[in-house]
A and B are shown apart, each in its own frame.
Chain A
Amino acid sequence: MNQDQAISQEDLDRILPRVTRPARYAGGEWNSVKKGWDSVDVHLALIYPDLYEVGMSNTGLSILYELLNDQPHVLAERAFTPWPDMETAMRRVGMPLFSLESRRPLSQFDIVGFSLGYELTYTNVLKSLDLAGIPLLASRRTDQDPLVIAGGTCVINPEPMADFFDLFVIGEGEEVALELMETYRAWKSRGDGSRQTFLRQAAAVPGIYVPSLYDVSYNPDGTVRAITPLTPEAPARITRRWLRKLPPPPVRPIVPFMEVIHDRAAIEVQRGCSRGCRFCQAGVIYRPPRERSMEEVLEAAEAILRNTGHGELSLISLSTSDYSQIEGLVNELAGRHQAEPLAISLPSLRMDAFSVGLAEALQKGKRTGLTFAPEAGTQMLRDSINKIAAEEDLVRTAESAFSRGWRGLKLYFMIGLPGETDDDIEGICRLTRRILDIGRYCTGHQVGIRIGIASLIPKPHTPFQWAPQANMENLEAKIRILQQGLRRTGVHLSWHDPNISLLEGVLSRGDRRVGKAVMRAWELGCGFDAWTEHFRFDRWQQALVECGLDPAFYAHRERTLDETLPWSHIDPGVSQGFLRREWNRSQSGQTTADCRSNTCAGCGFQALPSGCDVAGNHNSSVVRES
């Protein structure tokens, strides 16, 4: 592989002036790392299978980019899926998909690693591989092709994409990525050059799943009979990797030329959430909850602002108002940045008066939106999904927002929840009307309420993994109740396309056979499925039919507790017993308390040798609810 195989500036200049936002494909951003190609042993391409501006906002990618480029023997470069106009231009001149740093075709890399954060990017994986000239099916790749791997939240059920990847990295990547690089380096320098040898060695690394080393058999009714390892290196269950202590956060993230979705510096203040909402996959797969100390966050904040020049800092986590030192942290940050304005954003706030105060303090009178997620309209249903929030608290939160000057709120609800009745949907309307009345009372004006409706997509490794996903007629009837109930209130109501939700449901709880449909859908021209202008449900339906698959089997069917689920060989750390118990408690309307404020819920981590130190978090946390 010599230098002249890179795409030349002249070649790029022939096509970039005629595509939208050419900066997506040009690279050269501040803090991007370009190492000498021949100075390292392992060449890794990191790909987020969506547009540049989406992928560049992904936290996982920035963690891995910095971590891997800090290794002297490894180089990590980025690539994203080109928008259709660029894809067309590239195909016209025969230009393969290339990395942004050294502009080399992806086929020249040793390892091509995809980040799978959203099921609707799956066709973009195939689009990207094809554009790179890499065989799509793992079984077709030879020893000369790159190793194609994936990580990210979706791989907690890797089965629908099992045909396309040589291996999956399950769980948090910071440690296992380095172990994998070392395994690869050792194999490359001393091994026999056979891909098969490497894959068997990799399968022995905890958290690595090599799908070709497992056989999946099915029952006559279409459910999975068994998932069986074929070699001794392949463990019967693959454990999700997680870190006992969070390593220092990345402080040299790339600063894009163009505006990206999250155009700011970000520090992850905590990972995991202790609330235990039963629909929430992130709440399970980022367990146990772990915080960074305030000192570490402050130090990282100084460094990241100095290294990027950003004027906005986002303190990210699944529930930032739960960070035990949030008040002190925000005060300290504001105190240290008086000469230069610094905007601090807290992207996920709990619905309580404390959060409203926090938001107010941060904004200095500038009223940007305030968003909360009550999720369900009645107490009974909120209890059943374990979204612990009393109606009076929700109302008080709205009241405190309006009395502090907000003139509008955005509220998120879910429909299609297990056990949901029409009365629960009417409950959304009742709660909304109550909030409207309070708004009028507090402000003397009509307040602007925006309601966002999502339908539940039961996800693997959550207590709802056995639940049926609501079907189209059911969801449409519920939307009609909402439209009816909110008529002439001035409330802005929006909802997700139910077809996109159905597809997401099929792809998230699918088994290995679903991969054929992903392939067929891509062949039929699907791509950028998450973008409504490109989503073609008719083609997906055709693909599923041609592959003999029924979406209802994957989406709308309730599973029995003894069914072998397609993801049952992946061990998320949370025990099956806990998920079953939570599913049962949901059906009887019992809540389970937040494990940080009350007793341990026994999710399974407490029993692991490396344990869970939420108790420690609890001792040092400040009880804030007054």
Chain B
Amino acid sequence: MSPSRSIRLPARRPRASITAPQRLLRLRITFSRGTEAKYCSHLDLMRLWERTFRRAALPLAYSEGFSPHPRIALASPLPVGVTSEGELMEVYLRKRVSPHFFLEQARPQLPSGIDISQVEEANIGLPSLQSLVRQAEYRVEVEHQADRAGIEARIDNLLAQTHVPVERPRPGGAKLLDLRALLDQVWVTRTETDRCVLGMVLRSDSHGSGRPEEVVAALDLGEPLSMHRVRLILERQGEP
């Protein structure tokens, strides 16, 4: 910045937290997304957390480089329109704060529809949260004249197949995949007069993720009335 007219900005101090990773605090957060916020996308949700934590004045740790980003990782993208009570994320802080303090600071800054149910410290040496996710459990409501036996027969039929090809539309052309390989369990939770609630556990890892609406379609039950993610199932669950 040598030439005649220029602005001198104070040099940014190197952030010790970034150059010395052992001093970072890694927190694992369980959160829910209700109806009010269910139409935001995965990227929207990333932005939402970033802004929520900044409003809460929490000491976020940032990535290095010219456009630093806060180190926030969501375990698994939650599809648009799906609610959830068991989402997982991790955030790195550059100073130690207690999980309780973190929760107290963040809660008042949450938009309606989003809530945090648990904050706990995670071992800094663990592999990334995304790499630990194995399965996701969903609860899906479908429109159907109550006929539990009929639906269960369809489920048995679906599970008896070894290969269920489905086409997943993508911007660059549809992709063909095997839904059966992504489906671990599906069951009827309850039936009401005009609707039926299904439970299902779908594969969700680096090889692919099953989508509940694809299972509903494969059962010939039309389009779901609502979809809710109950929990994400991690490898070695319970040992964050």
Interface residues of A (CB under 8 A from B): 9, 13, 16-17, 22-23, 25-26, 28-30, 255, 257-259, 305-311, 327, 330-331, 334-335, 338-341, 343, 353-354, 357-358, 360-366, 400, 403-404, 624, 626
Q: Known contacts A26-B39, A308-B51, A310-B51: does B7 contact A330 (CB below 8 Å)?
A: yes
In angstroms, how far is the closest chain B Cβ from the Cβ of A376? 25
Q: Which residues of B contact A331 (CB under 8 A)?
A: 7-10
Residues A16 and B39 in contact in the complex (CB < 8 Å), given A331-B7, A353-B3, A357-B1: yes
How many residue pairs link A and B with beta carbons under 8 A? The number is 115
B contact residues around A353 at 8 Å (CB): 3-5
**Complex: chain A residue closest to B111, CB-CB:** A30
Cβ of B37 under 8 Å from chain A: yes
> In the complex the two chains form, is B5's CB within 8 Å of A307's CB?
no
Q: How far is it, in angstroms, between the C-alpha of A29 and the C-alpha of B13 when the chains are bound?
A: 35
> Chain B 213-240 against A: per-residue CB contact (8 Å), 1 yes, 0 no?
0000000000101100000000000000
Min Cβ gap A315→B in Å is 13
CB atoms of B81 and A17 under 8 A apart: yes
Closest to A16 in B: B39
Produce 1/0 per residue, B50-84, CB < 8 A to A: 11111101011010001110000000000011000
- Among B9, B15, B55, B81, the most chain A Cβ lie within 10 Å of the Cβ of B9
Question: Would B66 and A366 count as touching, CB distance under 8 A?
Answer: yes
- Does B35 interact with chain A (Cβ within 8 Å)? yes
Contact A257 B5 (CB under 8 A): no
Which B residues are in CB contact (< 8 Å) with A310? 51, 54
- In the complex, the answer to whether A28 meets B1 with C-beta atoms within 8 Å is no
**Shortest Cβ distance from B223 into A: residue:** A17
Does chain A have a CB within 8 A of B48? yes
20 A-B pairs with CB atoms under 8 Å apart are A17-B80, A28-B36, A257-B48, A259-B43, A306-B57, A307-B55, A309-B54, A309-B109, A311-B50, A311-B54, A338-B13, A341-B68, A353-B5, A354-B5, A360-B7, A364-B12, A365-B66, A400-B3, A624-B5, A626-B4
Shortest beta-carbon distance, B185 to chain A, in Å? 25
A608 to B201, CA, bound (A): 74
B32 at the binding interface (Cβ < 8 Å): no
Give Cα A26–Cα B48 distance, bound, in whole angstroms. Answer: 15
- Judging by beta carbons under 8 Å apart, are B111 and A29 in contact? yes
B: residues with CB less than 8 A from A are 1, 3-10, 12-13, 15, 35-37, 39-41, 43-44, 47-48, 50-55, 57, 59-60, 62, 66-68, 80-81, 109, 111-113, 223, 225-226
Complex CA gap A245/B108 in Å reads 35
Q: Give bound CA distance, A301 to B80, whole Å.
A: 33
Q: How far is the CA of A537 from the CA of B3 in the complex (A)?
A: 50
Asked whether A357 lies within 8 Å of B51 as measured between CB atoms, the reply is no
B10 touching A334, Cβ below 8 Å: yes
Given known A-B contacts A28-B113, A259-B43, A353-B3, A361 and B8 have beta carbons under 8 A apart: yes
Q: Is the CB of A309 within 8 A of B39?
A: no
Q: Does A357 lie within 8 Å of B44, measured CB to CB?
A: no
Task: Write the nearest CB–CB distance from A78 to chain B, whole angstroms.
Answer: 16
Which residues of chain B are within 8 angstroms of A28 by Cβ–Cβ distance? 36-37, 111-113
Q: Which of A305, A343, A357 contacts B3 (CB 8 A)?
A: A357
Q: Which residue in chain A gives the minimum CB-CB distance to B82?
A: A17
B48 contacts which chain A residues (CB < 8 A)? Answer: 257
Whether the pair B44, A361 counts as a contact (CB closer than 8 A) is no
Q: How far is the CB of B38 from chain A (nearest CB, A)?
A: 8
Q: CA separation between A334 and B13, bound complex, in Å?
A: 12
Q: Which 3 pairs show the lowest CB-CB distances between chains A and B?
A: A309-B51, A361-B7, A309-B54
CB contacts (< 8 Å) of A26 on chain B: these are 36, 39
- Give the complex CA separation of A617 and B53 in angstroms: 40
Q: Which residues of B contact A16 (CB under 8 A)?
A: 39, 81
Please give, as numbers and ranges, the residues of chain B lying within 8 Å of A23 by CB-CB distance: 39-41, 44, 80
Once bound together, how far apart are the Cα atoms of A275 and B55, in whole Å?
Answer: 39
In the complex, residue of chain B having the shortest beta-carbon distance to the beta carbon of A257: B40
Min C-beta distance of A133 to chain B, whole Å: 25
Nearest opposing residue in chain A for B65, CB measure: A366
CB-based contact A340/B7 at 8 Å: no
Return the contact of B40 from the options A258, A341, A404 (Cβ within 8 A): A258
Residues of A within 8 A of B226 (CB): 13
Measured between beta carbons, the chain A residues less than 8 angstroms from B53 are: 309
Closest to B10 in A: A335
| A366/B67 in contact, CB under 8 A | yes
Given contacts A17-B223, A311-B50, A339-B59, 16 further A-B contacts (CB under 8 A): A22-B39, A23-B41, A26-B39, A28-B113, A258-B40, A258-B44, A259-B44, A308-B55, A309-B50, A309-B53, A310-B51, A338-B10, A338-B12, A354-B5, A360-B1, A361-B9
- Of chain B, the residue at the smallest CB distance from A344 is B9
Chain A residues within 8 Å of B15, by CB: 339
Known contacts A13-B226, A255-B51, A311-B50; A334 and B9 CB within 8 A of each other: yes
A22 to B38, CA, bound (A): 9
- Tell me which residues across on chain B come within 8 A of A358, comparing CB atoms: 7
With a cutoff of 8 Å between Cβ atoms, the chain B residues found around residue A13 in the complex are 81, 225-226
Q: How far is the CA of A234 from the CA of B112 in the complex (A)?
A: 47
